[in-house]
């Protein structure tokens, strides 16, 4: 993710640098230096912010074709989130630079202040509107950033507030189009800016029109609902024609209640080609709490997907595999194990650690034991907190095969993932490949 965002910022800087250095009298000296620096800082921070904002906007359309290069939709969401946060940071900087004119005037006077390249009456009027819109959008973006980082702000309210983003983006696209220096449009930087405006605006309109994931959305009906265990609701559904099937480990956005909207859940069953999917849903918040009482067999639902690249790793001979599930993070592994039932010989040699609060009361232990009984290559280890058992990096180090590259497939609480990664680094196993499915998008 860091590499991708850095590459985008570098590309924008390169295009800007090309234009700036090739312009006559690009490097100002003397009295005008402060004003020239301000002008450059204004355009560069504006370009950085707008490029990142455009990327965030495009990624908000859930582009399934980008899943492979990004490593799954959960990663796309993470890049979307950090592109948005960085974009607001640069927008704030852009605003501060804009506000610096009084300071420069007081320190260096008006001499050397660059005149704006107004292009006539209409353009002048549009530029004034663009400036006003930009200022308003920055305040709104800063407010949105605070709500995003303030984790205790309810997700449901945040989601409604977040719906304003495409409108803000379109306002900023207008701001960028009319306030970019006129000579940009004949340069590579202008081509880049035009591409960003076009891609981001199309994405913004698609989001506003509710077309996101439209081609991957199908209706269906809930076939059964049952409490699989304390706080876990199992929902089995049959989907309509048009469902393209799924690979084990993928997830979908399920809408049981149109007012509530879509929630992402892993499809915890294997695809048998009958358009049936099963979700195992843990009560983790307002909506999922009491879901078993609210859902009924026979009620309609809509499902958008499948998405995700947390797929059954087979055919990776020679690699040492470890699967780790924490709590409800077991769902993709349930789908993997179900998919292997018909072809047990394809199962890789793997140690599968399932970390639970209490072995005896956990809703999935018995099912995992039954699934693994048919798969001798999969060695299941249930780690029970109630028995004072802990999964640590040392456990993984002690079992690793000498000389083999270890691949870890993890789905579970972020805290457990962090402590394992840190522990692995500390035990000299920092080089292991750690694949992680994130159950969090905000």
Ligand X SMILES: Cc1cc2nc3c(=O)[nH]c(=O)nc-3n(C[C@H](O)[C@H](O)[C@H](O)COP(=O)(O)OP(=O)(O)OC[C@H]3O[C@@H](n4cnc5c(N)ncnc54)[C@H](O)[C@@H]3O)c2cc1C
Interaction site with ligand X (CB under 6 A): 74, 155-156, 251, 261-266, 280-282, 284-288, 328, 331, 439-442
- Residue closer to ligand X (CB basis): 271 or 280: 280
**Least Å from the CB of residue 218 to ligand X:** 18
Rounded least distance, CB 12 to ligand X, Å: 30
Residue with the closest Cβ to ligand X?
285
**Cβ closer to ligand X: 11 or 284?**
284
Closest approach, Cβ 209 to ligand X, in A, equals 19
- Closer to ligand X at the Cβ: 65 or 150? 150
| 83 or 267: CB nearest ligand X | 267
Q: Which is nearer to ligand X, 76 or 173 (CB)?
A: 76
Min dist. Cβ of residue 411 to ligand X (A) = 8
Closest approach of ligand X to the CB of residue 280, in Å: 6
Minimum distance, C-beta of residue 418 to ligand X, in the bound complex (Å): 16
Q: Which residues contact 345 (CB under 8 A, 6 or more apart)?
A: none
Comparison of 174 and 439: residue with beta carbon closer to ligand X: 439
């Amino acid at each position: 993710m860091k590499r991708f965002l850095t590459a985008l910022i570098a590309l924008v800087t390169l295009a800007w640098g090309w234009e700036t250095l090739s312009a006559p009298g690009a490097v100002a000296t003397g009295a005008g230096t402060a004003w020239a620096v301000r002008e450059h800082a204004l355009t560069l921070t504006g370009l950085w912010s707008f490029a990142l904002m455009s990327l965030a906007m495009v990624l908000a359309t859930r582009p399934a074709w980008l899943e492979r290069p990004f490593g799954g939709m959960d990663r796309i969401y993470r890049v979307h989130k950090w592109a948005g946060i960085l974009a607001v940071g640069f927008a704030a900087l852009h605003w501060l630079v804009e506000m610096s004119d009084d300071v420069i005037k007081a320190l260096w006077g008006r001499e050397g202040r660059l005149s704006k390249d107004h292009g006539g009456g209409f353009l002048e009027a549009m530029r004034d509107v663009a400036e006003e819109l930009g200022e308003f959008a920055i305040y709104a973006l800063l407010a949105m950033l605070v709500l995003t980082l303030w984790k205790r702000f309810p997700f449901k309210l945040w989601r409604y507030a977040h719906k304003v983003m495409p409108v803000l983006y379109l306002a900023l696209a207008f701001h960028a189009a009319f306030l970019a220096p006129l000579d940009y449009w004949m340069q590579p930087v202008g081509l880049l800016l035009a591409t960003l405006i076009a891609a981001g605006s199309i994405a913004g309109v698609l989001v506003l029109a509710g077309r996101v994931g439209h081609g991957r959305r199908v209706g269906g009906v809930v076939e059964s609902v049952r409490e699989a265990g304390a706080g876990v609701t199992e929902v089995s559904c049959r989907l309509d024609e048009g469902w393209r099937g799924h690979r084990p480990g993928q997830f979908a956005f399920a809408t049981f209640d149109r007012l509530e909207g879509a929630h992402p859940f892993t499809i915890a069953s294997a695809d048998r080609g009958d358009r049936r999917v099963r979700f195992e849903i843990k009560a983790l918040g307002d909506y999922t709490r009491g879901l078993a009482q609210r859902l009924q067999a026979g009620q309609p639902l809509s499902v958008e997907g499948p998405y995700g690249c947390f797929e059954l790793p087979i055919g990776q001979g020679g690699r040492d595999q470890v699967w780790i599930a924490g709590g409800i993070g077991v769902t993709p592994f349930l789908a993997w194990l179900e998919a292997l039932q018909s072809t047990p010989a394809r199962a890789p040699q793997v140690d599968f650690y399932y970390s639970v609060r209490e072995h005896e009361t956990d809703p999935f232990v018995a099912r995992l034991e039954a699934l693994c009984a048919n798969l001798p290559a999969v060695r299941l280890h249930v780690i029970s907190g109630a028995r004072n058992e802990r999964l640590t990096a040392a456990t993984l180090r002690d079992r690793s095969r000498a000389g083999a590259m270890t691949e870890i497939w993890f789905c579970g609480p972020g805290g457990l993932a962090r402590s394992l990664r840190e522990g692995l680094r500390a035990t000299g196993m920092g080089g292991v490949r750690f694949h992680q499915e994130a159950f969090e998008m905000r």
